[in-house]
Structures are given as structure tokens and as C-alpha cells.
Amino acid sequence: MKNKIEILTKIGVFGTFLGHGIVALCINPKWIPLLTCYGFSEGQAVALMPYIGIADIIIAFTVLLYPIRFVVGWAILWAFMTALSRPISGERFVEFVERSANWCLPLVLLLLLGIPQNFKSWFKVRE
């Protein structure tokens, strides 16, 4: 059963990051405030978005095919910060709550893979 949950969790993280990566590559103007709230200018936000999209797509495939715990940990942090950017940029707090699955799903995957016990184990799939 754990293996099936892990597979479904990897597919869910893959879909989330692939979808967001594709949208970022297209430079979604609605996402500009989500970057400017962290101090980037509008021009910087537009310039960064394709790189963010590429990174999200790399994360998607890495998590699906070879879920190194460091990448899964980054997915948790990145998804949490992007969800948090919603209320920081002036949107309602419920926008953060609505996106909780974006960071909770990679968190579940990290728990399934095992919380790293030392620095070196962050760069393995599991112990």
C-alpha cells in the first residue's frame, strides 16, 4: 500500500510542478505580483518567470523519476512560498489555504521517503 501511495504522490507532485512550469514559461501576467511582493521589479519578474518554469519542469520530472530528497524538500519550500505570496501580494488568505496541497503533497512524499538524518542523506532517494 505504501508503494501505491508513494507512486500517486509522485504523480501529484509531477502534475502540480509540470503545470505550473508550463504556465510560468508562458509568462502569466497574473503571477507578476507574486514575485514583486518579494522585492523583484516587474521587469525582473517577467525575466525570471521562464527560468522558474524550467526549474519547475525539472523538479516535476525529477520527483516522478528519481525523487532525491533535496529536490522534494525544495519543492515543499518553493510551493509553500509561492502559496504564501498570494496573501503577501494582497490576495485573500484563503488563496494560500486553497494551495495547501501544492506543498503538502511533496511533504507527504518526503515523509514516505524518510526524513533525512544528515546532510548527505538529502541527496539520496531514501536510506
Q: What is the pLDDT of residues 36-81, one digit of tens each?
A: 999 999 999 999 999 999 999 999 999 999 999 999 999 999 999 9
Tally the domains of the chain.
1
Res 127: pLDDT: 67
DSSP conformation class of 119 = T
Q: What is the DSSP string of 21-65?
A: HHHHHTT-GGGHHHHHTTT--HHHHHHHHHHHHHHHHHHHHHHHH
pLDDT band at 126 (very low <50, low <70, confident <90, very high): confident
pTM of the model: 0.91
**Domain around 39:** 2-123
Distance set, CA 117 to CA 24, 56, 59 (Å): 34, 26, 22
